[in-house]
Structure 1
């Protein structure tokens, strides 16, 4: 009986030991003040240049936020104050790289274009990320033809090692640059289409927005043959800030149109002239670029006014590209 009692006590002690072991935090959950192998870094600094949203310009302020983080085995047992500052050395270093590659150097943020609510943050006890710094900026204060840089680096972290490769957040106010608008989801209609004589793809209005310069829209010529003017109407589904319209002719036939207008609309009913009496060379198979009166538009209409060969009633067009900010 005594033996059984001792056995029960032994099993009980073992169970208590196992329970205590299970209750103890895993190393990655334990709080510690050890700085061994701990690195403080700037969140978002590992994601490259942080481009601010400058366009469309607005009178009201926009904001950009970031903070500090720590990588360590476990969690900090005490709060970790972290200090940031504007980094002139990082600014100069990046500009040297730009100059050596033939780029125009960055400008500093204009003093009246931004404000920073604080430069001191704290990673809390048991936490891994700090509270956030907020950069408030006014897009209208930046010159749209210049690039601006604001580098903010960690300068101290309460004795913790600062990771040198990810200590700086590079905040950029980029210059406005045209880019090709995505045609995903767009639709096109026309004054007429040749649905029978040009195969399954060619002849249709959709061919001018399919991204393939070798397909083409053709006005109708079988059964009936409408005469000039002919038009293509592109619905971009959302308003974008249009800056340029490029046209490419049909690639295997240079007898297209030589003059056209470009119009824009926000509702498909009221149209505004963006370019008038523009000249086009249908024998030049490259895209031909036409800067237009810039502005927000949902619809773009290209109206072809005159054939290359007098007396020709029909027309065709290869592709329409639209550029935007």
Structure 2
């Protein structure tokens, strides 16, 4: 009997030691980390400088989700606070081993929707939302970084190596061409009166002002302006190799958004060839559409064949080529 008891005790000790070993695989014990993309599991491959590339973002989303994760559930609620980490940004740029230098993302480009959130008792994660103002970005000159870190966790231990996510966007290898020398060479129609003095004209799509827009003519329009296709064309003043085009729909409204669009190119402004037929999304953010094969051309023509609400008219805030 004594031998049996010794075996049972040994088994209990072995099981307890196994359980402790599992717990000890969590760095620093039951610590918090910040993860991107947001997840429900404690994953040390989602955060920190060792996984910097995981923070690479693009401008096709207007909301970024990150999560605070803890390895094992707690018996009570845990309030977690996050914030932009200026020190992490400075340390990254000052490290000579990091060849790419970034600009700190301006506050007008983003907002942390909820900088405080609660991991409820029995749970292991909570999600934070970061709103991205994609239409504000200009990545033609530099890349941007937004380090976000856990700053407070009500006394709970924080994993210092994994408390920060380095959200970043790279400099555009093919930035948009400057449009200050572009000329409007033709259009199907424009609303020269009904949208006020600073809207309605084709020139508004190349004025570098997202708040203005072109609108097809709707006030006493000629028959040709009442139905698609609607088009406009530009002289870029020089030959440019076109890798793609960019569209920004009219801000603050969603009616008459372009859908099916044709891009034509020319070197004399008279003989046009189709470079691409594309379908835009019905979104308020910049849409960047690559065109292959690339071509060196001087003139561009945009033809809007259909709209999302199937109405006769259409509008657009900005158009670029890159």
- Superposition TM-score, scaled by structure 2 size: 0.45
Q: Where is the strand percentage greater, Structure 1 or Structure 2? A: 1
Which has the larger Rg? Answer: 1
- Superposition TM-score, scaled by structure 1 size: 0.44
